[in-house]
Amino acid sequence: MEIAVPDFIRAIAPYVPGKPIEELERELGLSRVVKLASNENPLGPSPMAVQAMQKAMVKLHRYPDGSAYYLTEALATHMQVAPECLVLGNGSDDVIAMAVRAFMRTGEKAVMPHPAFLMYDILVKTVGGISVPVPLQGMDLDLDGMVAAVEDETRMVFVTNPNNPTGRFIPLDRMVAFLDAIPSSVLVLLDEAYIEFVNDGDRYSGVSLLTTYPNLVVLRTFSKAYGLAGIRVGYGVMAKEVALWLHRVRQPFNVNLLAQAGALAALEDDGFLQETRKLVSDGIRWLSEQLEAMGLITHPSEANFFLVDVKREGKKVFEAMLAKGIIVRSMHGYGFPRCIRITAGLPEENRMLMDALREVLCEIPED
């Protein structure tokens, strides 16, 4: 007898993870594969975080602190909010999952940009929710289109700032106009996964808008600028009342013991964060100059990645680069068929990328 599976679960396309780098090296017979595809921190984790996690290892026979007391207190100070405004997760994905579980029922809707981070759509579908994709307008989110897409059944709206994959940053006046136009009964999930990389002098965080918009949830992560993607820590900042509902559906030990120790130390390592920011902005500037000198079009970005129009099918360029041991992201499924997305790496990795790309572009004619 077959196990009954709800139709809305059957409709979810399985997430296809990439191969481990070591396996790819073995398959390609290469001693070094360079991954510039997942917007990770090329510097690695903060040494202070590594040390803190090593120290915490001897306590691994204990359950983690279910309230993540010290990390929550430190984040509250860092963000200048009350600790009750924070909900921590096993990555920011986990916080989105909690919001979806707490506020959405089957048949209700979530408005989101398209293309966007894949997990928005997947998580909405896990509870039978309906994703309402609003295509980008060029490289920018179509905020007016997203407002227009809100209906009676809409429970949440996703906004990514800076946006992935385009790297564009929404100025404050446009963000405020957008939030004003969204009904206060609709939750706005403002995903700031890349906010630490923004160089725009007018940088702001949605956290400064929380007192005006109690339906706002700002999502942050330790996976990108803090270099801790592997231990999975993210968090949401929101009104205390909203946080209480998320805690109801939160798994009690969702942030593990090493993750709490690592994130706490990483938060204190400001030197590492500044080094990361400089490395990334220098890397993007250098790569953009090189790519433009080759006649390619690069799209300005406020994140740690950017899009390049390679003037031929991006998927082919991606595959040819992969064969040379350089992993970038094909934008084929994201509505930018002639683009690839590149994450800034170490100077040496960036040089290897450019060397491989020069060869690949000679092999694949422009179209």
Nearest approach, Cβ of 157 to ligand PLP (angstroms)? 15
Q: Which of 39, 166, 288, 343 binds ligand PLP (CB under 6 A)?
A: 39
* Size, binding site for ligand PLP by CB under 6 A: 13
Count helices and strands in the chain by DSSP H and E runs = 13, 13
Q: Contact 149/113 with Cβ under 8 angstroms?
A: no
What the block records as the tokens of 69 is 């007391």
Among all chains, which residue has been given the structure tokens 């572009």? 361
- Contact call for residues 281 and 274 (beta carbons, < 8 A): no
Q: Which of 33, 49, 71, 117 binds ligand PLP (CB under 6 A)?
A: 117
Rounded CA-CA distance 2/193 in Å is 40
36 within 8 A of 342, measured Cβ to Cβ? yes
State the nearest-atom distance from the C-beta of 341 to ligand PLP, in Å: 10
Select from 296, 289, 297 the least CA-distant residue to 344.
289
Query: Contact 217/182 with Cβ under 8 angstroms?
Result: no
Among 72, 154, 160, 166, binds ligand PLP (CB under 6 A): 160
Site membership for ligand PLP, residue 191 (CB under 6 A): yes
41, 72, 221, 330: residue in contact with ligand PLP (rule CB under 6 A): 221
Contact string 75-104 vs ligand PLP (x = CB under 6 A): ----------------xxx-----------
Of the pair 191, 302, the CB lying nearest ligand PLP is at 191
Q: Is 301 in the site for ligand PLP (CB under 6 A)?
A: no
Helix, coil or strand: residue 246 = helix
Q: Should residue 113 be labelled a site residue for ligand PLP when binding is judged by CB under 6 A? A: no
Site of interaction with ligand PLP (CB under 6 A): 39, 91-93, 117, 160, 164, 191, 193, 221, 223, 229, 234
